[in-house]
């Protein structure tokens, strides 16, 4: 019973929150029609001032404009509230203004007498100045910033989306983070677009304020003189003071709200609020403060100037500069000198034999900040993300990547090694960004022209201040760490077969034995030695077939190990069992399988070569090999022009021979056998290899 009551209370609370918005809007619109007593007007005017101050404070402490995404709606609601109060107070002023200065409430009386000293001429001038400041300066500027920001944000969306996709593909972020970033980009465009439109409400409110003031003064004079028989001067003073008080009590909150709008749209997103930004950037350089203090002191010594004030400001600035210099701690330079080896000779031992790292990353000294956590380097974290994503996609955990500095490399260079051999190298500039040209950029950027080290696309290294411009013009922009990690990710996928060593395979089987203990126990070593299982998995990985479905692989090996121990034959059987997953890598489920075919004459020749001992790819004569390569390149080029995956479909008997032979010349080509295509998939031949021979 208590749970039901609590649930009912929670439901009621949610209903109230849902109804709060409509009720507020209806109440604001009702104020334009229903008469309000002076006390209610005092309360609502005070509430309006409080809301404007709250909005200003929130804008000051907001670090990201999207943290205050509801601001355009608040801008509209507060504008409607001010206009409704103007209408309600105007009604009271015209009806009861002849009764005294507090006819429309104490708040209007205070603003009309205290703030302008009871002088309605001064009040009119102050009111007009406030309106001009709000309309011409703040609101117009904020609207222009919002308009430009909205346009730039929309133009930069494709580049930002591609950067998110690049981080996702490199394993630097997950699906949830990518989805959140895409949502933030969309919200950012919507926010600045809404702010551009909402600023028009404030400008219209300023114009309406002047018109309402003129109408109220003229109407008050007519009502006071014609209906209440007041003297013209008395009516002018009475109604004008009430109108000025009414105008000021509305325009001051409007000015505060407009200031908040300007602060929000002009903010640059950082991890600091406005106060922290001002203190850290405006007063962060002691030499600037010293020069300014000297200039102010010189001006303070000029005869006729207010010497005390100038010298006071100069002394304050000088004191701040002195404290900044005093509190600045010189960075500690860590010694990087290598230890001096002991002069005492020692006998050589087995500790002098150091194993070669399976995977290694060597960096120049200027890239050390990328791997140093003390300097906010995130390369280690990103590499861990790559290994995790590789394990999820390929099916086993790759070896740890050992990172070390290499003074023999150029300062910004790096290289990636596999078992001591270099498999990739490039340059990355810490603090700069690589703008990659995906083929549809609209302008050239100033910077160091280069190419993307992972895929060879044309690119240019740019300064950080050009990042937004590059994204707007269609470039994919990534930072220095992303360049290195994307290169590593590409290479470990390309060399996946070499990364699956005996130790990694044993760890994989141990991991699987927890879930499928009987399967592993029956296979290794009862039916197959570990080396044969490793060779089969190598064959799969060499042709970019993932081994995530280890249960199917183990089932097939267990079933056919009694008939054959040949790794090539077992690989062919496993590929047929994994056919659906293999085909789905190139053609989405349900799509037509559009592949290249093999001419029947060439097919017969290759079958004869296979039967005569060419299973290892060594039995193809030079003339036939040249013809085969030429025809395969021509068909692959045609397939690429059609925008289709470069896949060749051949009989199962020669699939391994062709795949091995063509792999070096056409690494992007994939060779499938007829047995690997599921019966449910429709096949279409787009071209024939050897059709002209």
pLDDT for position 549: 93
pLDDT for position 10: 44
Report the alpha-carbon distance of residue 144 to residue 552 in Å, rounded: 62
pLDDT for position 114: 65
Going by pLDDT thresholds of 50, 70 and 90, the confidence category of residue 693 is very low
Going by pLDDT thresholds of 50, 70 and 90, the confidence category of residue 1 is very low
Same domain, 102 and 246: yes
DSSP string, 405-435: E-TTS-TTEEEEEETTEEEEEEE--TT-EEE
| Domain contains 340 | no
User: Are 527 and 557 within 8 A, CB to CB?
Assistant: yes
- pLDDT for residue 376 is more than 80: no
Same domain, 92 and 182: yes
Q: Which of 206-220, 340-354, 495-509 has the least mean pLDDT?
A: 340-354
CATH number at residue 365: 3.40.30.60
- pLDDT for residue 280 is more than 80: no
Domain final residue, candidates 544, 577, 610: 577
| Domain contains 18 | no
Same domain, 550 and 596: no
Domain final residue, candidates 433, 468, 495: 495
| Domain contains 4 | no
Same domain, 371 and 518: no
Q: Which of 163-172, 234-243, 410-419 has the least mean pLDDT?
A: 163-172
**pLDDT greater at residue 16 or residue 140:** 140
| Domain contains 338 | no
pLDDT for position 7: 47
Q: Which two tokens stand for residue 613?
A: 């001992």
| Domain contains 22 | no
Whole-number average pLDDT of the chain: 81
CATH number at residue 614: 3.40.50.12790
Same domain, 257 and 384: no
| Domain contains 598 | yes
User: Are 541 and 497 within 8 A, CB to CB?
Assistant: yes
Report angle CA 306, 310, 311 to the nearest 5 degrees. 115
Q: Which residues pair with 169 in a beta bridge?
A: none
Report the alpha-carbon distance of residue 564 to residue 488 in Å, rounded: 38
Domain final residue, candidates 577, 608, 627: 577
pLDDT for position 272: 60
| Domain contains 418 | yes
pLDDT for position 13: 54
CATH number at residue 515: 1.10.8.540
Same domain, 471 and 539: no
pLDDT for position 269: 56
- pLDDT for residue 383 is more than 80: yes
The mean per-residue pLDDT over the stretch 349-378 comes to: 85
- Count of structural domains, the chain: 5
Domain span including residue 384 = 358-495
Report the alpha-carbon distance of residue 625 to residue 621 in Å, rounded: 6
Distance, first Cα to last Cα, the chain: 86
pLDDT for position 273: 62
The mean per-residue pLDDT over the stretch 148-153 comes to: 69
The mean per-residue pLDDT over the stretch 401-429 comes to: 92
Same domain, 114 and 175: yes
Same domain, 386 and 305: no
| Domain contains 16 | no
Q: Which two tokens stand for residue 605?
A: 């020749």
The pLDDT tens digits of the residues spanning 622-659 come to 888 888 899 999 999 999 989 899 999 999 989 998 99
Same domain, 418 and 478: yes
The mean per-residue pLDDT over the stretch 311-315 comes to: 86
- pLDDT for residue 670 is more than 80: yes
Q: Which of 85-89, 121-125, 362-366, 569-573 has the least mean pLDDT?
A: 121-125
Q: Which of 269, 204, 345 is nearest to 68 (CA)?
A: 269
Same domain, 427 and 534: no
Q: Which two tokens stand for residue 52?
A: 């404007």
pTM of the model: 0.60
Same domain, 178 and 213: yes
pLDDT for position 335: 40
Going by pLDDT thresholds of 50, 70 and 90, the confidence category of residue 458 is very high
Same domain, 120 and 232: yes
**How much of the chain exceeds pLDDT 90, in percent?**
29
């Amino acid at each position: 019973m208590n749970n039901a009551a609590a649930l009912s209370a929670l439901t009621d609370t949610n209903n109230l929150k849902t109804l709060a918005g409509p009720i507020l809007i209806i109440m604001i619109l009702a104020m334009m029609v229903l008469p309000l007593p002076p006390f209610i007007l005092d309360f609502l005017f005070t509430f309006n001032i409080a809301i404007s101050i709250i909005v200003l404070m929130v804008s000051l402490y907001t670090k990201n404009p999207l943290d205050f995404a509801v601001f355009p709606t608040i801008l509209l609601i507060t504008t409607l509230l001010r206009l409704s109060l103007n209408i309600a107070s105007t009604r009271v002023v015209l009806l009861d203004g002849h009764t005294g200065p507090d006819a429309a409430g104490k708040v209007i009386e205070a603003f009309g007498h205290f703030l302008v000293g009871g002088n309605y001429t001064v009040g009119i001038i102050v009111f007009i100045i406030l309106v001009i400041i709000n309309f011409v300066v703040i609101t117009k500027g904020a609207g222009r910033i919002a308009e430009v920001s909205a346009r730039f944000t929309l133009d930069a969306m494709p580049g930002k989306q591609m950067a998110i996709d690049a981080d996702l593909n490199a394993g630097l972020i997950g699906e949830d983070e990518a989805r959140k970033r895409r949502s933030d980009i969309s919200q950012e465009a919507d926010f600045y677009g809404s702010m551009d439109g909402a600023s028009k409400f404030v400008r219209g409110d300023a114009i309406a304020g002047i018109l309402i003031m003129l109408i109220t003064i003229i109407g008050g004079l007519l009502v006071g003189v014609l209906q209440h028989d007041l003297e013209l001067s008395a009516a002018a003073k009475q109604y004008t003071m009430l109108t000025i008080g009414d105008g000021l009590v509305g325009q001051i909150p409007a000015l505060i709200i407009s200031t908040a709008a300007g602060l929000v749209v002009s903010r640059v997103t950082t991890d600091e609020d406005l106060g922290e930004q001002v203190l850290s950037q405006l007063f962060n350089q002691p030499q600037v403060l010293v020069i300014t203090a000297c200039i102010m002191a010189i001006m303070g010594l000029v005869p006729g100037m207010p010497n005390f004030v100038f010298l006071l400001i100069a002394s304050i600035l000088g004191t701040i500069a002195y404290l900044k210099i005093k509190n600045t701690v010189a960075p500690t330079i860590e010694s990087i000198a290598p230890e001096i080896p002991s002069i005492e000779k020692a006998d050589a031992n087995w500790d002098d034999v150091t194993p070669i790292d399976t995977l290694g990353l060597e960096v120049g000294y200027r890239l050390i900040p990328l791997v140093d956590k003390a300097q906010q380097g995130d390369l280690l974290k990103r590499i861990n993300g790559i290994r995790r994503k590789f394990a999820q996609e390929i099916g086993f955990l790759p070896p740890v990547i050992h990172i070390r500095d290499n003074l023999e490399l150029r300062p910004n260079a790096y290289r990636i090694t596999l078992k001591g051999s270099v498999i990739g190298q490039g340059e990355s500039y810490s603090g700069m960004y690589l703008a990659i040209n995906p083929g549809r950029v609209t302008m050239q950027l100033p910077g160091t022209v280069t190419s993307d080290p992972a895929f060879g696309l044309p690119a240019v290294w740019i300064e950080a201040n050009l990042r937004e411009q590059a994204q707007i013009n269609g470039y994919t922009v990534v930072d220095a760490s992303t360049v290195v990690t994307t290169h590593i990710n590409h290479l470990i996928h390309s060399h996946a077969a070499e990364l699956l060593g005996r130790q990694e395979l044993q760890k994989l089987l141990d991991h699987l034995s927890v879930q499928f203990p009987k399967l592993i126990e029956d296979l290794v070593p009862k039916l197959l030695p570990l080396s044969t299982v490793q060779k089969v998995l190598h064959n799969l990985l060499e042709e970019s077939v993932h081994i995530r479905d280890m249960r199917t692989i183990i089932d097939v090996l267990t079933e056919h190990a009694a008939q054959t121990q040949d790794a090539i034959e077992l690989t062919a059987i496993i590929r047929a069992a994994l056919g659906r997953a293999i085909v789905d890598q190139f053609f989405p489920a349900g799509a037509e399988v559009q592949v290249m075919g093999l001419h029947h004459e060439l097919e017969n020749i290759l079958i004869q070569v296979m039967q005569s001992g060419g299973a290892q790819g060594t039995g193809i004569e030079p003339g036939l090999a040249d013809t085969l390569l030429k025809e395969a390149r021509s068909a692959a080029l045609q397939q690429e022009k059609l925008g289709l995956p470069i896949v060749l479909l051949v009989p199962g008997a020669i699939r391994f021979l062709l795949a091995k032979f063509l792999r070096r010349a056409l690494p992007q080509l994939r060779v499938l056998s007829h047995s690997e295509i599921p019966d449910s998939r429709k096949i279409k031949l787009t071209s024939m290899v050897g059709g002209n021979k």
